[in-house]
Structure 1
Amino acid sequence: YNIKTSAQGQDNLNIKMLLYCCPFIIPYLTHIINTCLLNRFFPDSWKVAVVRPIPKMNNPQDFKDLRPISILPTMSKVLERVVDLQIREYANKYNIIPQFQSGFRLQHSCETALMCITDDILRGLDEKKVTVLTLIDFSKAFDTLNYEVLFALLKYLGFAHCTIQFFRNYFKNREQCVKIGDNISTLLEITSGVAQGSIIGPLLFMLYTSTIDQAIDKCKFHLYADDTQIY
């Protein structure tokens, strides 16, 4: 599976090492992954994130100028990739993935979002309509995702009980520490949000915001990740 990052989490294992060993361990790895899926279980040792603050700009002056990127154990990324592919296949089959979202999707990008919005706005101007564009960037969108709301949404969207139980276990007992240089903090429990740097996080956030169209009915809108355009 396509896992681009080569960063090492607390397991000190990177994807290159795993790929090198694959010819010898693939039957055992497959058994581990299938066992986790069948038992709706995500090992606690794979839930520990090492957070590295990455500056959003030159010379950051405040914590809000830093992006918290989570470095997760490589094995967790493998299991997340399998789950991500299965969830996307189901979501595409039943048209659950919203068409107004251009982030986290194949054959979609910033450019497709820009083209869609620009076309709608120019058409409105041609038709002599009053046209106003409001740009919204949700603060800490990924970090404040509420788990119970997510589980309720997954049920509403038609996901099976076993899928929801898997994600309940996935989010249970998650911990993180912060690493800057050679300094590392103590572990703290994570009670909300999806890790920026995880495989499954973007898909879960996309599903989390998939019903926003029910709250906006008098104008058009489009999303790229958490960047929202209403017009």
Structure 2
Amino acid sequence: MMHSCIIFASIYYPESAKNRRDLVTYLQKTVDLLRAFYENPAIVLAGDFNQTKKSWLASCLSLKQVVNFPTHESGSILDLILTNCETYYQTPESLVPLACSDHNIVLWSAAASIPNPKIKRVKYRSLIDSAICTYGRWIATYPFPEVYGDKSLDKKCQLFNEVLHAKYLEFFPEKTFTRCESDKPWIPPPNQETNPKKVQAFPRRRFAKCEKIAKSDYLSHEKSHDSLRHTNPRKWHRAVKQITGKSIHNSIKISHPDGTYTTVDEVNQYFTHIWNSFPSPTQAQKPEILDSCADEGEVVIDEMTTYKTLMKVKVNCSAYPDELPPKLIREYAPFIAKPLSVLINLCFRIGIFPAVWKKAYVRIIPKVTNPKSCDELSPISQTPCLAKVAETFIMRVLLDQIQGSIDQRQYGGLKDCNTSVYLVKMYDSLLKWVEKGHSFVDLGAIDFRKAFDLINHIVAALNLKLMGAKKKTLTLVLDFLRQRMHRVFALYEGDTNSKWSSSTCGAPQGTKLAAIVFLPVINFLIADYDDRYKFVDDLSFILKYLVQSGVVTPQFSSNFFSVETSRR
């Protein structure tokens, strides 16, 4: 970001001064005050600091010390230049002392050419009220013949999505604006202008009035985040990054020894290899899996239930490519609910999840600050918003069928269960045993590696059948998992998306059914041991010991942790 002004200070700190911490405290308060009063000022602090620790001083002031050669006849660096605008100047040079001085002259020349500010062209579609009304008039009278025809379910969903998106492109035309790094954060995109002639032509009073209003709205929005500082540190951190104009998702670059970076196709190939570790159920295996499953009545999702679910769509989530933004899906929920309920009911009737809803864009999230390999990356799948609505109904029906068979010590993925309940239950059992006296415990914790990515669909289906899943619902869940397609989002600015790939195992993280499908995989693990505590893919257990006459007696069976090979 460009600087709004230049602040230059000349400093002399005598060698006879006793407390050097006073200098640092004074400079730190002054610099903070200037940064609060001016927007991103260019600061230069130059002078004779004598024996002040330069690295400590630069760290306290969040400035860079650029003099790297001795400036005194004793061979010490006493004359410093602390700044945050070193890119606009050349490397300092040392000249001979002036007259009888024992300090060299430090020459700090301006750079030959000042780097131009970075300008980025951003494309967007403005959701203005007039366009929203125009789209609403169209969708209110459109009969959606694509949904009620004799076509296949996949074709119906594809045409339904295409007609909604085609009209979205028509009524909300794409616009382009240029963003400069010197742009004020409170100026909304359509009002930003980097062309000096256009800025000059705009009446100054009118521009100042608009800027004052925008700045007031921006600062009032900024103050609304104050409560997050104490209630939710994660949201507070995200809000601060948005206010300062920094990206929430940093670029991911994994360097190689030859200086190159891991490409998006290499990351996609890495996860594709994991997602094909187990074969998906074949058509010959399906009758064996679904055999002896209890039949169920026809599942009917009415229009009003679909409408209420659409109204709960989160509008602040990013939109899936080639789909209506979540805000518009919620806006036009009364008109989308009927055709969508017809498609969802057809899914339950024939046991097929549409292929267009099984395509996912994978966003890579680093597990550590600077990942060194693909193993330190976590894939989060972004699926169509309408697919998530359909998943909601599948999840409700499935949970109603298996609720009574879910492990009572499972505290994840279920209603009214969270990490707080999980930790309190475990801590309560631990303290009750220790407080008896002459006893101690061992605490075991297991975290499954690539838990969601390595779900075997056959094992998950067999365990769901044992837990009471009905035939039609289990068929639909199996079809939801099989033949999924995915591609990885660009890892950094200027990168491209990867190619489409398929998977034969695993459940995509970020979908609502992923956690529910994993529950049966871990459901029967140490199910007969009382002191077990599960939170989706995290498993903890307490091993109790009793000490009597110096003899330690375990209060558990030696083979309590056994896994049946048929359920692995």
Tell whether the structures are fold-level matches, with TM greater than 0.5.
yes
Distance in 1 separating the partners of 2:322 and 2:390:
15
1:132 lines up with 2:445 in the alignment = no
**TM-aligned CA deviation for residue 193 of structure 1:** 0.8
In structure 1, what residue type is equivalent to 2:427? T
Give the secondary structure class of the aligned counterpart of 2:455. coil
Distance in 1 separating the partners of 2:313 and 2:411:
21
1:213 lines up with 2:523 in the alignment = no
**TM-aligned CA deviation for residue 144 of structure 1:** 0.4
Give the secondary structure class of the aligned counterpart of 1:213. coil
CA deviations on 1:168-223 (whole Å, 9 max, x unpaired) are 21122211111124511111111111111001111111232211134x53x62101
Do 1:10 and 1:72's aligned partners in 2 also have CA atoms closer than 8 Å?
Answer: no
Do 1:70 and 1:198's aligned partners in 2 also have CA atoms closer than 8 Å?
Answer: yes
Do 1:13 and 1:73's aligned partners in 2 also have CA atoms closer than 8 Å?
Answer: no
Distance in 2 separating the partners of 1:7 and 1:195:
17
Structure with higher Rg: it is 2
Q: Which has the higher contact order (CA 8 A, sep 6+)?
A: 1
Q: Which moved more, 1:157-166 or 1:38-47?
A: 157-166
Do 1:48 and 1:175's aligned partners in 2 also have CA atoms closer than 8 Å?
Answer: yes
Alignment match, 1:98: 407
Distance in 2 separating the partners of 1:48 and 1:108:
30
Distance in 1 separating the partners of 2:396 and 2:462:
21
Alignment match, 1:31: 342
**TM-aligned CA deviation for residue 3 of structure 1:** 4.1
Do 1:47 and 1:175's aligned partners in 2 also have CA atoms closer than 8 Å?
Answer: yes
Q: Displaced runs of 4+ in structure 1, greater than 6 A?
A: none
Give the secondary structure class of the aligned counterpart of 1:83. helix
Alignment match, 2:516: 203
Distance in 1 separating the partners of 2:325 and 2:381:
14
Sort the Cα spacing of 1:90 and 1:164 in 2 relative to 1 into closer, same or farther, 3 A.
closer
Alignment match, 2:382: 71
Alignment match, 1:121: 430
Do 1:194 and 1:201's aligned partners in 2 also have CA atoms closer than 8 Å?
Answer: yes
Distance in 2 separating the partners of 1:103 and 1:160:
23
Instruction: Please tell me the root mean square deviation across aligned C-alpha atoms, in Å.
Output: 1.8
Give TM-score, length-normalised by structure 2. 0.38
Do 1:70 and 1:196's aligned partners in 2 also have CA atoms closer than 8 Å?
Answer: yes
In structure 2, what residue type is equivalent to 1:90? Q
Give the secondary structure class of the aligned counterpart of 2:345. helix
Give the secondary structure class of the aligned counterpart of 2:332. helix
**TM-aligned CA deviation for residue 9 of structure 1:** 2.6
Q: Please, which runs of 5 or more residues in structure 2 have no aligned partner?
A: 1-308, 543-568
1:170 lines up with 2:480 in the alignment = yes
Give the secondary structure class of the aligned counterpart of 1:46. helix
In structure 1, what residue type is equivalent to 2:509? Q
Distance in 1 separating the partners of 2:449 and 2:420:
23
Distance in 2 separating the partners of 1:88 and 1:162:
14
Do 1:222 and 1:228's aligned partners in 2 also have CA atoms closer than 8 Å?
Answer: yes
Do 1:51 and 1:176's aligned partners in 2 also have CA atoms closer than 8 Å?
Answer: yes
Alignment match, 2:452: 142
Q: Percent identity, aligned pairs only?
A: 28
Distance in 2 separating the partners of 1:51 and 1:223:
27
**TM-aligned CA deviation for residue 90 of structure 1:** 2.9
Alignment match, 1:187: 500
In structure 1, what residue type is equivalent to 2:525? I
Give the secondary structure class of the aligned counterpart of 1:68. strand
Alignment match, 1:44: 355
Give the secondary structure class of the aligned counterpart of 1:145. coil
Distance in 2 separating the partners of 1:129 and 1:141:
34
Do 1:10 and 1:48's aligned partners in 2 also have CA atoms closer than 8 Å?
Answer: no
1:152 lines up with 2:456 in the alignment = no
CA deviations on 1:16-42 (whole Å, 9 max, x unpaired) are 221112122221111111111111110
CA deviations on 1:45-88 (whole Å, 9 max, x unpaired) are 11111111012232222222221100111121111011112222
Alignment match, 1:83: 394
In structure 1, what residue type is equivalent to 2:431? L
Alignment match, 1:13: 324
Alignment match, 2:365: 54
Distance in 1 separating the partners of 2:500 and 2:471:
31
Sort the Cα spacing of 1:106 and 1:118 in 2 relative to 1 into closer, same or farther, 3 A.
same
Distance in 1 separating the partners of 2:374 and 2:335:
44
Q: Which moved more, 1:179-188 or 1:138-147?
A: 179-188
Give the secondary structure class of the aligned counterpart of 2:322. coil
Alignment match, 2:533: 222
Q: Which moved more, 1:130-139 or 1:178-187?
A: 178-187
Sort the Cα spacing of 1:129 and 1:11 in 2 relative to 1 into closer, same or farther, 3 A.
farther
Do 1:142 and 1:195's aligned partners in 2 also have CA atoms closer than 8 Å?
Answer: yes
Sort the Cα spacing of 1:210 and 1:3 in 2 relative to 1 into closer, same or farther, 3 A.
farther
Q: Which moved more, 1:82-91 or 1:196-205?
A: 82-91
Do 2:402 and 2:469's aligned partners in 1 also have CA atoms closer than 8 Å?
Answer: no
Do 2:402 and 2:468's aligned partners in 1 also have CA atoms closer than 8 Å?
Answer: no
Distance in 2 separating the partners of 1:3 and 1:208:
29
